[in-house]
Amino acid sequence: MKVYFVGAGPGDPELLTVRADRLLRSAHVCVWAGSLVNPQLLDILPRDCERHDSAGMDLDAIVAVFAAARDRGVDVIRLHTGEPAIYGAIGEQMDALDRLGIDYEVVPGISSFQAAAAAIRAELTAPEIAQTIILTRTAGRTPMPPTEELSRLAATRATLCIFLSSDRIGEVAATLAEHYGGDCPAAVVYHASWADQQVVRGTLADIAPATRKAGISRTAIVLVGFALARPMAYASKLYDSRFTHGYREGSEGCGR
């Protein structure tokens, strides 16, 4: 018996991994992350699959399902939104499984930040502009470590992908504008890859009122950074005809 922590991806069923799809199609028990997972994914489960919506469950209740499945000798699919390793709360579940001696495995999935970048057709890294991507959130009921406060991360001027914070978009934009400037590109993507996906684009100066006008306050990711600007300020050297690398001699013999 094994528990599989499966990444459901950002929402579109076609963005499931092949492995995730195979596991869902043969599932005996599935604990899924409530409204965060697209209900269309549940249509992949066998009709006789035992289903538990974790939205109304605490950790003990979830672990009880794992233990009951162990006693019956059947595997469990623990279906998490996006990529389980990012804000998936899987660590505490794995600790409980360790205590019970139950085997488990993590099946990665596509994250919403990747789907959001695709939605706005942006590259999150740009030569000489931003070579670092920071995945973060703002403080809520879960506080942020002092060294990871948004104002400190903003000092890097890296590309920021901010989860669980669209309800604080005004505060986020104001904090970031102090470091990036009001003209820095920003975007908010609601339900990235879902059929009802919404995209709001702008700058730090106007993204907050635009987001509120669109009625977006949750289940969205905020993207900020100069790498989002088009056209790009600098092109990569990878395809520069003058650039030499291990597979091609450049016209000017330039090294890496």
Domains of the chain with bracketed CATH? 2-107 (3.40.1010.10), 112-228 (3.30.950.10)
Query: How many other CB atoms are found less than 10 A from the CB of residue 120?
Result: 17
pLDDT in tens, 132-156: 999 999 988 888 999 999 999 999 9
The phi-psi region of residue 215 (left if phi > 0; otherwise alpha if psi is between -120 and 50; otherwise beta) is left
The model's pTM: 0.89
- Distance (Å, rounded) from C-alpha 182 to C-alpha 202? 10
Amino acid code (one letter) for 116: A
Q: Supply the Cα-derived Rg of the chain in whole angstroms.
A: 21
- Distance (Å, rounded) from C-alpha 229 to C-alpha 208? 18
Which token pair is 236? 């990569």
pLDDT in tens, 65-114: 999 999 999 999 999 999 999 999 999 999 999 999 999 999 999 999 99
Which token pair is 68? 């009951």
